[in-house]
Amino acid sequence: MINTFIVVFTFFSHTYSLVTIVYGVNDIYPRRVLWNQLVDLLDGVGDDPWIVLGDFNTVLDASEICDLASDSHTAMDDFAAFLNDTGLVVLPSGGYLYLAQLLRRPRSLWKKLDRMLVNDRWLLQWPNTTCFNATPRTSDHSPLVLHGAASQNFGRCFRFDNYLAKSPGFIDLVRSILEHPM
């Protein structure tokens, strides 16, 4: 089974919270596995604020597609059911509406695949948080910028190249770093 998400337990603004970064696989069945794994995470979340963000690789409804092509209604229904099962809501966003450019000939297809989802505890802790969909630079996806939770200037966008995880010894190296007392 492939995990297509990373969970980070963090402490900022005097509060423990969970940050989950996801990549929703293009195929509907592995994406259902992702939805189920994230639903299973609910037990570990408890009363902590939780934000789930990234490329979900599906839209919630047809208004999030710019072109005549349509997304699978099954995929949209699965995504809506996932939101219902977890109680997560889409964080209000501004900036680019369509965040992913799928290059297909003869024209490009634009979709809103990237988003931030939060639970009610997140909204209670940081009620003014919003998502800003920035200008694409290094990818065909727009970077997501969280505003209003904690103000800090990081300088550059975070980028993880998945091929690194497939390098021999990578997982053992990360595990040894994480097990090291701080």
Give the architecture (CATH level 2) of 5-152.
4-Layer Sandwich (3.60)
For residue 99, what are its two tokens?
A: 């965040």
The pLDDT, as a whole number, for residue 84 is 92
At residue 55, what is the residue type? D
d(CA 81, CA 74): 10
Mean pLDDT of the 6-34 span:
86
Give per-residue pLDDT as tens, 114-140.
Answer: 889 999 999 999 999 998 887 776 666
Question: pLDDT at residue 68 above 50?
Answer: no
Please list, in sequence order, all residues whose beta carbon lies within 8 angstroms of the beta carbon of residue 19, skipping any fewer than 6 positions away. 7, 8, 10, 51, 53
d(CA 179, CA 151): 29
Per-domain residue ranges for the chain?
Answer: 5-152
**Number of CB atoms found within 10 A of residue 135's CB:** 8
| pTM of structure | 0.71
**Number of CB atoms found within 10 A of residue 167's CB:** 9
Give per-residue pLDDT as tens, 21-50.
Answer: 988 877 888 888 888 898 898 878 888 999
Q: Could you give the C-alpha distances from 150 to 40, 132, 145, 153, in angstroms and in order?
A: 28, 14, 12, 10
**Mean pLDDT across the chain:** 78
67 or 168, higher pLDDT: 168
Which span out of 13-22, 91-100, 127-136, 147-156 was modeled with the highest average pLDDT?
13-22
Question: pLDDT at residue 71 above 80?
Answer: no
DSSP for 31-59, please give it: HHHHHHHHHHHHHHHTTS-EEEEEE-SS-
Give per-residue pLDDT as tens, 98-120.
Answer: 555 555 555 556 666 788 999 99
Dmax (CA) for the chain in angstroms is 54
Question: pLDDT at residue 154 above 60?
Answer: no
66 or 91, higher pLDDT: 91
DSSP H helices in the chain = 28-45, 73-86, 120-125, 170-179
129 or 177, higher pLDDT: 129
